[in-house]
A and B are shown apart, each in its own frame.
Chain A
Amino acid sequence: MGPVSRRQLLFAGAATGGGFLIGWRREAGPRVLAAADKAMPAAFAPNAFIRIGRDGRVTLIICQVEMGQGTYTSMSMLLAEELEVGLDQVQVEHAPPNDNLYANKFLGDQETGASSSVRAFDEPLRRAGATARTMLVTAAAQTWKVDQASCQARRGVVTHTPTGRKLTYGVLADRAAKLPVPTQVTLRDPKDFKLIGTPAKRLDTAGKVNGSTQFGIDVQLPGMKIATVAASPVVGGKLVSVDDSKAKAIKGVRQIVVLDDAVAVVADHMWAAKQGLQALDIRWDDGPNGTISTADVVQGLAAAAQTPGVVVRNEGDAAAAVGGAPRKIESVYEVPFLAHAAMEPINCTVHVRPDHCEVWTGTQVLTRAHRGAAKAAGLPVEKVTIHNHYLGGGFGRRLEFDYVTQAVLIGQKVDGPVKVIWSREEDIRHDVYRPYYYDRMSAGLNAEGQPTAWTHRIVGPAILARYAPPAFKDGIDPDGVDGAAQLLYEIPAIRIEFVRHEEPVLNTGFWRGVGVTHNNFVIESFIDELAAAAKQDPVAYRRALLGKSPRAQAVLDVAAKAAGWGRPLPAGWGRGVSVLYSFWNSYLAQVAEVEVSKAGEIRVHRIVCAVDCGTVVNPDTVKAQVEGGIIFGISGALWGEVTLEKGRVQQSNFKDVRVLRINETPAIEVHLVRNLEAPGGMGEPPTAVTAASLANAVFAATGKRIRRLPLERQLRPV
């Protein structure tokens, strides 16, 4: 064997640390370690994703965080398929923060968002699995002094086919670790997949049904205190003074921590902290945002919408074509600020010492949070340890680490560990909201009612200019225009513009689907307006314009047929359709069936969704994401809005942040259109495709075209 390079040593992990593991017992089912558990040394660690111990224990290191989307299971399936192990033979461990090893190629760092996990890691994980398997098979062949081609791996065992001799991965681990890491391996032909594409059971269910799963909020440390916070009710506001005399008198309250823009009460338990917070007399300087209301925000956006934007897509002379068309249709669409309201309220636990800072939380951006904690603590990142946990919902909220920064600043003033928990009210009022967008649409129709020109001007903030500046190029926020720029309809003249307009009265960011969630509502409502103006069937109208998009046409056909499109409905009922395509590279078509009462209440009876997301890793996970994403989308479309008065968010808890409940949930049918195209994203598209199908169904039921969300507010203004 040739000399082993330093690099190979690093990545092959050789036997450093050895495979010496004690105390592990085999269990019937798969295990998922608490994400904070320290990595165990392994005999064989050919890459950043796989460790195999001498006892045969296979540990898969998953860099994408589990927030319900099933990524621990799908990532494991990609690795296990090529590694040749069963899902019942592996355990899953959360990766440490390391952008060099775990960067998501679409997002540039170790990040779980934008429905990108399978798309980004399909090839790298399969390659990691195939590399390890190849080395194990080579090790077996060398042991037996036989041709590698005569050996086969299956369920963690290599068999010499002619003689039937067998060696387990555990036995082979040490020898495999001494082999050079092959630079080229053959990946399995997708038609030969054994695991990928099958409905595998989730790996994280057991702990979630018996209460043992550790979310960030469940961290417990010796001597830990609990803190809860009141931050300035207005973005940009500052603390003027606080009278804490009453709070300090409450039993269990230990300390009041004052920051520039927040006050925290540190106590023995959350109840004392909450009571302490209520007993504080706080004076704020609201700053320049203290007079702003929602109407001011809309006014600013409407004014910006009168100005030309940066051109995102330009085919033909759309403006002239609209002007010269026999029929011209113009509309303005608006979508409100939205809160995430993940079930696990925002929280972060820290232990800040002069020379070291330790953080326990749930984050979609482990390395960003790590760096953010270091910056807040004034320490180099090497002096900061961060532990990630299961997330009690992410939906984009945990792509921000404002709460980590805040917890570290509080922790700096507390002796010992402290868990900072936001009340639900604080969580709703200090969110990083889906922005308010304002869109101007116009189209020209010819004598046959076909669109000859389409213009779309999107007005809103550029989230990526703040979040990932390199992605904000030429004045275009790729996320803000996502789903609009890729308009699939064949129209001779198309012009799409983006007007960046910031309204810094609220912090805005990502919300399950962000740009597409807004754009799909706009374009799929507007194409419905055109169909209605042309007095044509909404499905047939779309279909005729999708001639160059066979995958879109196919999902539309499946959804329409399954939904019984065209079949009569009772009075007050309506059916609406929507089609989605975007950066996620998935095609969806959805038909919603709703009933609108005389009082303007919308009851969603049935949703049929057809999905082509290319290669499917776990069809049951895809189905679950479609069901859940639609429900998330219904809540947002029917009721979701965050409004401002004097700079303050008016909503606070589930009494005014209305979300769908089980008794309001429609029948949901998911139809997968299977093929072996490249995998598309699935976490967000079902949410994004939902608002338009509902708005179009409301139109069908009532004749009322709603161009401003939420829908029910327009049917029964309060």
Chain B
Amino acid sequence: MIALKINGKSHKVDAEPDIPLLWVLRDLLGMNGTKFGCGVALCGACTVHLDGIPRRSCVTPVSAAVGHAITTIEAIGTTDAGKRVQKAWLDLDVVQCGYCQSGQIMAAAALLAKIPAPTDTDIDQAMAGNICRCGTYPRIREAIKLAARKTTTAGKGG
């Protein structure tokens, strides 16, 4: 049995150590918010956080997640950055089909947690690994900036 801490809760799964975290989440634990897109870390749809750092769960063996705090889209709204990102996504109607957005939001939340006021270059670097075929990139960029502005305001006590 492998012990995992996901979204603050302890889980035990009966799995081989090499199974990617993606399939543990989706097929063994029924947590379907994290998406399968390419299977080889090229599209970012499967992004989760390990100790707050974005990881492609499709190429992360479950053994590498043991002992780390795993956060998925289902709980990102409980973090400050995640909550602001989700709100900005709603405010700007970012989504279209929505399939890649779990990964986009996880990547954006990690970016904001690390860099409160990201530049366009910061956004490019943090988000270039996440593909969106509907083409929501312009709104993703604006929403990240909007979410960042909310931090700044909060920081000023506003």
Contact = CB atoms under 8 A, between A and B. Distances in A.
Given A628-B135, A632-B135, A661 B128 contact: yes
Contacts of B123: 662
A271 B23 contact: yes
B95 interface: yes
Given A269-B28, A342-B97, A391-B97, 20 more contacts: A202-B95, A205-B90, A209-B90, A210-B73, A270-B27, A343-B97, A343-B131, A343-B134, A344-B99, A390-B97, A421-B36, A424-B39, A624-B139, A630-B135, A632-B135, A661-B128, A661-B137, A662-B132, A662-B137, A662-B140
Given A217-B36, A665-B138, A210 B98 contact: no
A215 B34 CA distance: 12
B26 A270 contact: yes
- Chain A to chain B: the 6 pairs with minimum beta-carbon distance, closest first: A211-B33, A631-B135, A392-B99, A68-B97, A208-B98, A68-B96
Contacts of B36: 217, 270, 345, 421
Interface in A601-658: 620, 624, 627-632, 653-655
A343 B133 contact: yes
A394 B99 CA distance: 11
B115 interface: no
Interface in B120-158: 123-125, 127-141
Contacts of B51: none
B118 interface: no
A38 interface: no
Q: Name which of A226, A344, A394, A423 has the most chain B CB atoms within 10 A of its CB.
A: A344
A69 B19 contact: no
A82 interface: no
A424 B38 contact: yes
B131 A659 contact: yes
Interface in A325-349: 341-345
A663 B124 contact: yes
Contacts of B139: 624, 627
B119 interface: no
Q: Is the interface of B mostly helix, strand, loop or mixed?
A: loop
Interface residues of A, number: 63
A624 B19 contact: no
Contacts of A67: 97
A212 interface: yes
A454 interface: no
A211 B93 contact: no
A655 B40 CA distance: 9
A213 interface: yes
Q: Name which of A205, A653, A659 has the most chain B CB atoms within 10 A of its CB.
A: A205
B27 A226 contact: yes
A653 B40 contact: yes
B148 to A, nearest CB: 15
23 contacts: A201-B93, A204-B95, A205-B90, A205-B98, A208-B98, A211-B32, A215-B98, A217-B36, A220-B32, A341-B133, A392-B98, A423-B39, A424-B39, A624-B96, A624-B139, A628-B134, A629-B135, A654-B131, A661-B128, A662-B132, A663-B125, A663-B128, A668-B138
A342 B133 contact: yes
A395 interface: yes
B43 interface: yes
Contacts of B130: 661-662
A343 B99 contact: yes
Interface in A214-272: 214-215, 217-218, 220, 226, 251-252, 268-271
Given A269-B28, A343-B100, A663-B124, A210 B77 contact: yes
Contact of B27 (A269, A392, A423, A667): A269
Contacts of A206: 90
Q: Name which of B42, B89, B123, B138 has the most chain A CB atoms within 10 A of its CB.
A: B138
A171 to B, nearest CB: 33
Interface in A61-102: 66-70
A372 interface: no
A710 interface: no
B15 to A, nearest CB: 8
Contacts of B16: 251-252
A239 B140 CA distance: 45
Given A424-B38, A662-B124, A220 B33 contact: no
Contacts of A632: 133-135
Interface in B87-110: 89-90, 93-102, 105
Contact of A393 (B39, B97, B105, B128): B97
A660 interface: yes
B133 A211 contact: no
Contacts of A663: 124-125, 127-128
B30 interface: yes
B93 A205 contact: yes
Contacts of A268: 27
A212 B102 CA distance: 10
A655 B42 contact: yes
Contacts of B23: 269-271
B26 to A, nearest CB: 7
Contact of B95 (A205, A215, A653): A205
Contacts of B102: 211
B38 A654 contact: yes
A345 B37 contact: yes
Given A653-B38, A661-B131, A393 B138 contact: no
Contacts of A653: 38-40, 42
Contact of B30 (A220, A252, A342, A424): A220
Q: Name which of B26, B40, B94, B134 has the most chain A CB atoms within 10 A of its CB.
A: B134
A271 B73 contact: no
A213 B99 CA distance: 9
A252 B63 CA distance: 18
Interface string B55-99: 000000000000000001110010000000010011001111111
Nearest to B26: A270
Contact of B128 (A251, A271, A629, A662): A662
Contacts of B28: 269
A113 to B, nearest CB: 15
Given A67-B97, A68-B96, A211 B45 contact: no
Q: Name which of A274, A394, A661 has the most chain B CB atoms within 10 A of its CB.
A: A661
A211 B140 contact: no
B102 to A, nearest CB: 5
B35 interface: yes
Contacts of B19: 269, 271
Contacts of A207: 98
B133 A659 contact: yes
B54 interface: no
A67 B40 CA distance: 24
Contacts of A202: 93, 95
Contacts of A201: 90, 93
A422 to B, nearest CB: 10
Interface string A401-422: 0000000000000000000010
Given A68-B97, A211-B32, A395 B133 contact: yes
Contacts of A344: 35, 37, 97, 99
Contacts of B100: 343, 392
A665 B127 CA distance: 12
A524 B115 CA distance: 44
A147 B132 CA distance: 55
B99 A393 contact: yes
Nearest to A663: B124
B20 to A, nearest CB: 6
Nearest to A424: B38
A220 B29 CA distance: 11
B23 to A, nearest CB: 4
A139 B129 CA distance: 57
Contacts of B96: 68-70, 624, 628
Nearest to B97: A68
